[in-house]
Amino acid sequence: MSELLNPERPMRADARRNRLLILQAACELFASDRPEVQMDDVARRAGVGVGTVYRHFPDKQALMGELVRERFGFFNETLADALADEGADPFEALAGALRTTAASMADDAATRFAFTSGGEGVFAHAAEEMDAFTGLSSTLVARAKAAGELMPEFEAEDIPMVMCGVCAAIDKRHPGWDWRHHLELVLRGMRAGP
């Protein structure tokens, strides 16, 4: 265990700057078509020593986890926006939010890399944001059900599962795969029907 930064007190200006440089370097490297990104690479591109990377992020998983955490932050904003629009059709509000979250993943190769090639620790790092996500999607699901537009067997807890499935379809190794098509299929399955 290295000399991790104390998250309580405010960072010194150079530390705050380094943290940003590291995150930015990680994004660029994870997004660029891999030949396996190393911590040394991240440090070099950020213009800092490896030790500094470890001072900000206890290990590689935490570095990846930060990308996941930030993206869940965006997911939550998206769901909150959908909730705020009281007049909208409840099913379309949910569907639209899911389309937006999926599209944001499709645009973010770095976080996709973190999602798939990081393990348990990556998600542990984003636990708080993931809880918020569950809360927000429960409300959206409840509204759509109340409107009779969502099939009753569908639960809010199914959302991370199906979205994870849709994410699996965003895979540069399979250029034929169409995640939008996959998502529409799932939405079709979710819709209440005879």
Partner DNA sequence: ACCTGAACACCGTTCAAGT
Which spans of this chain sit near its own copies (rule: CB under 8 A)?
116, 120, 123, 151, 153-154, 157-158, 160-162, 164-169, 171, 173-174, 176-178, 181-182, 184-190, 193
Nearer to DNA, 14 or 131 (CB): 14
148 is an interface residue for DNA by CB under 7 A: no
**What DSSP assignment string belongs to the chain?**
------SSSPPPHHHHHHHHHHHHHHHHHHHS--S---HHHHHHHHTS-HHHHHHHSSSHHHHHHHHHHHHHHHHHHHHHHHHH-TTS-HHHHHHHHHHHHHHHHHT-HHHHHHHHHS-HHHHHTTHHHHHHHHHHHHHHHHHHHHTT-B-TT--TTHHHHHHHHHHHH--TT-TT--HHHHHHHHHHHHB---
Residue 123, binding choice from DNA, its own copies, none, Cβ under 5 to 8 Å by partner class: its own copies
Q: Which of 32, 51, 146, 155 binds DNA (CB under 7 A)?
A: 51
Of 26-34, 37-45, 153-161, 182-190, which segment contacts DNA by CB under 7 A? 37-45
